[in-house]
Structure 1
C-alpha cells in the first residue's frame, strides 16, 4: 500500500487532475497494478478503462454535462475497472477515486499560487487500500467464491462525482445484480483514537450488525446512516444500491500541496483494510442485500450567516463539538480557541452534538458577540467571540 501511495502521489503525475496527462498516466499505473494483481479487465472493449467526455460547468453549483462529442472546452476522464469473476449471481463493487486537484484551482485551500497537489490521503490512500483488498480476495478465494467483485478507480470525483455517475448510467456489468458498494475516500490518517467514520450504515438492515461483529482491530466506529455524501458512494445509493463509505477524517493538509505520502499512517491503513476484508468475507454468502432509503443528512444542515472559523472533528463521538483546526484571523482564533477544544455551549444554547452546534451557530448574525463555552483538557472555560 505504501508503494502504491508513493507512486500515485509522485510529482510526476502533477496532481492527477481529471482530463490531464497526469490523470492518464495515473490511470495507466492503476491498470498495470490491476493486471499484476490478477484482475480481469472490465472496462470497455476488453480494456481496463472506461472513458467519459464532459463539459465542465462554469457555475460551481451546477453539474458538469456529459457529451459524446470532443467539442471545444470538453475534457475526458478515465475510470479503471478490474474484475474477479466467480461465475456468481451477485457482484460487490469496491471503489475509490484516484483523481485530485492538479495544480490547485477552485477546490484548493492553498492561497500561495499554483503548486502540485499530490493528494496522498485524498485519495491515493483509498486506491491503495482497494488494491490491497483485491489482492487479499484473490489470495483467499476459498472464502470468497459466492460473489463476483468489481474494483473501480474513479476519475472526476473532485469535479462532482463524474466518474461514478457515468459508470452507474453506463455500467459494464448488470447493476441489478450488485449486492452492495464499498467506497474508500481519505483513509490514510487513522488517529490515535483509532476512529473511522462509516457512512451508509442505514442503507441496508444487515450493515450495522456486520460492521460491529467484525471489528477485530478495536476500531472506534463513528457510524452515519445516510447514503448521501460528498464522495462516489452517493452515485450508487441514488441507484438504490446499499453503500458503505469509509473515511478517517479531514486534516490540516486537506486539499493542500502538503498532502504528501510520507505523512500517512500505513499501519492504520492496514487495520482498515483488514477490517473491510472481514466485513466483505462475512457478507459473501448473504446474497443480494436489501436496500433501504435513508435521510439526507446534508438537507438538515441549517443556513449560516456567520462562521466561527474552525474545522470540526467529524470523527468525535462525545458530547459537544470538538475543534480539529482553527483558521487564521477568524473569530475562533481571535477568541483564543485551540485545536482539541470541545465547544459545549454557544451563548445560552447547548451544543451537545454536531447538529446542535450548527443549529446554534445559525442563530447568530455578523457583528454579534457571544460567550462560547469549551472544555479544554477537561476544564471548562469561556471566551468572548465576535462574529
Structure 2
C-alpha cells in the first residue's frame, strides 16, 4: 500500500509503533512532494526495500527477602513503573508532560516499603518468610510479574499467598478499600473480619485482573489486589503527590498488617480457581460517554468519578458524583447494565440520560 501527500514539507510519519499495533503482512510506503512523479510512473515497476528494527529494552524487578527460615513465603508486590512522558497508555490530551504516577503506583511501592519495615519488627507474623517485589513493566502488560513467576528466585511451590498493591493512594471519606481476588482462597474471607483502621472492604472474587496478582494466580498461588479506585487523574500528569491521601495509605498499611497477622498460623492457604468473566457475554460498544466510573460504588446505578473534557458527558453537563440510573431505554443498575446501555448506541446517536445529583433526579440528553 502506498500513501502519498503532495506537500513536501509535511511531517514524516513516526517510526515508533506501539505494542498494540498488530502486523497484517502488507508493506506500506509513504511518499511526499515530487517523489510521486519520480517513483510512481504509470506502467513502470516499483521496487522498495524496508528494514524493520524492533527496539528492545531491559527492565529490572527489585526483589528483597525477609528470611525467617520458614518453608513458606508470602509475596508482597507493587509495580514500580509508570508512563514517563506519556507513552501509549496515557489519557492526557495536550502538550507533552511527565506522568509521575503518584497513585499509580508510587503509592503501592510506598506501602510495600512500609510493610517491609514493619514486618521485620512485628511479633506474631513469624511463621512465614516474606518476599517483597517491586515489578517493572506492569503498564506494558504485567511483564515484570510474568517474568518473575516464570523465573522465580524461590520455587513457586514455596509461596503461601500474594498481596498486590496497585493504586492505594486515594482512600476516600467512606473508608472503602477494594480487595480483588478473594475467590482464590477460602482464607480470604478473613478480610471481612478485619476491623483495624475502620476500613470497609468491597471485594471481587476473580483471580484475573489488570494487575500483577494475575501472574501469581495463574501459577496456582492465592492472590489478592488492594485498590482505592480509579479517578479522573488516572494515567495523566495530574496524578501527583498533592492529591495523595497519606493518612489513608497508613490506614491501609495497618489493615494489611492485621490481615497478615491473622493468617500467620493458618499454615499454607488453600488455592481455589475462580470463575472467570465470560467475555462472550460482555457487551461491546462503539461509543464512549467520556467518564471515569467509580468502581467501588456499591449503590444502584453507575457513579461518575471523573468527566473528560470534550467528550459527550461533559457536553451534556454531567459532573463528578452524578449517578447514572438510566441511559436511553436501559435502567442502569450496575456496571454491566451501564455497558449494555452504551452498546445500544452508535456514533452520532442522541439519547436521554437520567442521573441522580445530590439525591435529586436530573434528565438531559447526550450525543455520542
| TM superposition score category, shorter chain reference | 0.7 to 0.9
Residue 68 (structure 2) aligns with: 86
User: Is residue 120–residue 261 contact of structure 1 (8 Å, CA) maintained in 2?
Assistant: yes
Q: Secondary structure at the match of 1:92?
A: strand
CA-CA distance at 1:291 after TM superposition: 1.2
User: CA separation in 2, counterparts of 1:308 and 1:257?
Assistant: 22
Q: Among 71, 82, 90, which residue is 1:100 paired with? A: 82
Per-residue CA distance 1:133-155 (angstroms, 9 max, x = gap) = 11111111x31111111000001
Structure 1 residue 382 and structure 2 residue 342: aligned?
A: no
Per-residue CA distance 1:162-182 (angstroms, 9 max, x = gap) = 000000000000111211110
User: Is residue 232–residue 308 contact of structure 2 (8 Å, CA) maintained in 1?
Assistant: no
Alpha-carbon distance change, 330 to 57 in structure 1, aligned in 2, over 3 angstroms: closer
Structure 1 residue 343 and structure 2 residue 324: aligned?
A: yes
Structure 1 residue 163 and structure 2 residue 144: aligned?
A: yes
User: Is residue 177–residue 288 contact of structure 1 (8 Å, CA) maintained in 2?
Assistant: no
CA-CA distance at 1:258 after TM superposition: 2.1
User: Is residue 179–residue 242 contact of structure 1 (8 Å, CA) maintained in 2?
Assistant: yes
Q: Secondary structure at the match of 2:192?
A: helix
Per-residue CA distance 1:315-371 (angstroms, 9 max, x = gap) = 111111001111122221222211111011112211111111112221222232221
Structure 1 residue 59 and structure 2 residue 39: aligned?
A: no
Name the larger-Rg structure: 2
Q: Which ranges of structure 2 fall in alignment gaps of 5 or more residues?
A: 1-15, 23-52
Q: 158-167 or 99-108: which moved more?
A: 99-108
CA-CA distance at 1:216 after TM superposition: 2.3
User: CA separation in 2, counterparts of 1:268 and 1:88?
Assistant: 32
User: CA separation in 2, counterparts of 1:311 and 1:368?
Assistant: 21
Q: Among 102, 110, 121, which residue is 1:128 paired with? A: 110
User: Is residue 73–residue 129 contact of structure 2 (8 Å, CA) maintained in 1?
Assistant: yes
Per-residue CA distance 1:90-127 (angstroms, 9 max, x = gap) = 11100001111111121112222322211111111101
What TM-score, normalized by structure 2, do the two folds share? Answer: 0.84
User: CA separation in 1, counterparts of 2:113 and 2:19?
Assistant: 35
User: CA separation in 1, counterparts of 2:278 and 2:64?
Assistant: 32
Q: Among 166, 172, 179, which residue is 2:160 paired with? A: 179
Residue 288 (structure 2) aligns with: 307
CA-CA distance at 1:310 after TM superposition: 1.1
User: Is residue 321–residue 344 contact of structure 1 (8 Å, CA) maintained in 2?
Assistant: yes
Structure 1 residue 332 and structure 2 residue 332: aligned?
A: no
Q: Which ranges of structure 1 fall in alignment gaps of 5 or more residues?
A: 1-55, 63-70
Structure 1 residue 291 and structure 2 residue 271: aligned?
A: yes
User: CA separation in 2, counterparts of 1:110 and 1:298?
Assistant: 31
Q: Secondary structure at the match of 1:103?
A: coil
User: CA separation in 2, counterparts of 1:342 and 1:296?
Assistant: 28
Q: Among 202, 215, 222, which residue is 2:183 paired with? A: 202
User: CA separation in 1, counterparts of 2:191 and 2:274?
Assistant: 18
Residue 191 (structure 2) aligns with: 211
Per-residue CA distance 1:181-219 (angstroms, 9 max, x = gap) = 1000110111111121110011111212x1011132221
User: Is residue 326–residue 339 contact of structure 1 (8 Å, CA) maintained in 2?
Assistant: yes
Q: 163-172 or 241-250: which moved more?
A: 241-250
Residue 225 (structure 2) aligns with: 245
Number of equivalent positions: 322
Alpha-carbon distance change, 343 to 277 in structure 1, aligned in 2, over 3 angstroms: same
Alpha-carbon distance change, 76 to 335 in structure 1, aligned in 2, over 3 angstroms: same
User: CA separation in 2, counterparts of 1:72 and 1:369?
Assistant: 44
What TM-score, normalized by structure 1, do the two folds share? Answer: 0.80
Q: Among 33, 46, 57, which residue is 1:75 paired with? A: 57
User: Is residue 354–residue 361 contact of structure 2 (8 Å, CA) maintained in 1?
Assistant: yes
CA-CA distance at 1:282 after TM superposition: 0.8
Alpha-carbon distance change, 76 to 298 in structure 1, aligned in 2, over 3 angstroms: farther
CA-CA distance at 1:57 after TM superposition: 7.8
Per-residue CA distance 1:269-311 (angstroms, 9 max, x = gap) = 0000000111111111111111112233383531111111111
Residue 44 (structure 1) aligns with: none
In the TM superposition, what are the counterparts of 1:30-45 in structure 2 within 5 Å?
none
User: CA separation in 2, counterparts of 1:275 and 1:301?
Assistant: 34
Per-residue CA distance 1:57-100 (angstroms, 9 max, x = gap) = 843177xxxxxxxx972110110111111121211100001111
Residue 370 (structure 1) aligns with: 351
Greater than 4 Å deviation, 4+ residue runs = none
